[in-house]
């Protein structure tokens, strides 16, 4: 099954919250995630920079940290969500305002914008989406061993049914790998690259992986 881009929130068996982002793509597979400090960006791989002329939506920050929150998303809306949370807005409000303001991507597929937010020392996390026909933001209570996911296509509603019940990644590297080929994610086609964040006490473990 092809879901396009995927964001996920979960909790490992040690009780640490996780946020994951996976690029799955048929049109622009020559991309990678690059980590710089507490930010991860999706960029064309070397030699494929001209892909930016074909679509303005293929390069963006997909991970940002704001206060004790981590934000992952499939587009340039990562930044306004993070900035609003940094200013003190609750995650629900930051997600709703930013998604509504930026709207879905005006490409050939009307690609939805999706995003996820986790917090240190908290079992509450959020998934949000803006589609051509809807804007939805929902809070989830995280439990060890479970991960909830949201995608641009097919699984594009934040709901309990979009769940993986075997999630256990002890660190961000393992979470990246899991989002590519672990549990329910192994059935989703055309993985390209991934990024993941694990909340650990007063810090975040951040990692990237390229298929």
Average pLDDT rounded to a whole number, residues 185-197: 98
Measured distance CA(77)–CA(108) in Å, rounded? 19
pLDDT at res. 104: 98
Per-residue pLDDT reduced to its tens digit, 125-135: 999 999 999 99
Tokens of 99: 């998604």
pLDDT at 48 (0 to 100): 97
> For the segment 134-174, what is each residue's pLDDT rounded down to a tens digit?
999 999 999 999 999 999 999 999 999 999 999 999 999 99
The pLDDT of residue 61 = 98
d(CA 10, CA 68): 16
Cα(178)–Cα(169) distance, integer angstroms:
7
Per-residue pLDDT, 88 = 98
Q: What is the mean pLDDT of residues 50-69?
A: 97
Query: Please, which pLDDT band fits residue 54 given cuts at 50, 70 and 90?
Result: very high
Q: What is the mean pLDDT of residues 80-95?
A: 98
pLDDT single digits (tens) 7-34 = 999 999 999 999 999 999 999 999 999 9
Give, in words, the CATH class of 6-210: alpha beta
According to the model, what pLDDT value does residue 106 have? 96
Query: How many helices (H) and strands (E) in the chain?
Result: 3, 13
pLDDT surpasses 90 at 201:
no
| C-alpha angle 82-169-142 in degrees, rounded to nearest 5 | 60
CA distance 176 to 186: 12
Write down the pLDDT at residue 154: 97
């Amino acid at each position: 099954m092809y879901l396009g881009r995927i964001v996920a929130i979960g909790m490992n068996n040690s009780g640490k919250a996780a946020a994951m982002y996976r690029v799955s793509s048929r049109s622009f597979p020559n991309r990678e995630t690059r980590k710089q400090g507490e930010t991860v960006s999706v960029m064309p791989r070397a030699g494929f920079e001209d892909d930016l002329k074909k679509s303005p939506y293929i390069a963006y920050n997909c991970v940002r940290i704001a206060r004790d929150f981590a934000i992952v998303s499939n587009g340039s809306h990562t930044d306004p969500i993070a900035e609003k949370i940094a200013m003190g807005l609750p995650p629900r409000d930051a997600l709703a305002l930013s998604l509504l303001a930026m709207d879905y991507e005006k490409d050939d597929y009307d690609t939805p914008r999706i995003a996820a937010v986790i917090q240190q020392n908290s079992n509450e996390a959020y998934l949000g989406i803006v589609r051509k026909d809807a804007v939805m933001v929902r809070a989830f209570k995280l439990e060890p061993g479970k991960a909830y996911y949201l995608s641009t296509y097919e699984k594009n509603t934040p709901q309990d049914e979009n769940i993986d019940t075997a999630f256990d990644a002890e660190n961000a590297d393992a979470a990246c790998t899991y989002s590519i080929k672990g549990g329910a994610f192994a059935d989703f086609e055309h993985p390209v690259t991934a990024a993941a964040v694990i909340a650990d006490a007063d810090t975040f473990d951040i990692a990237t992986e390229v298929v």
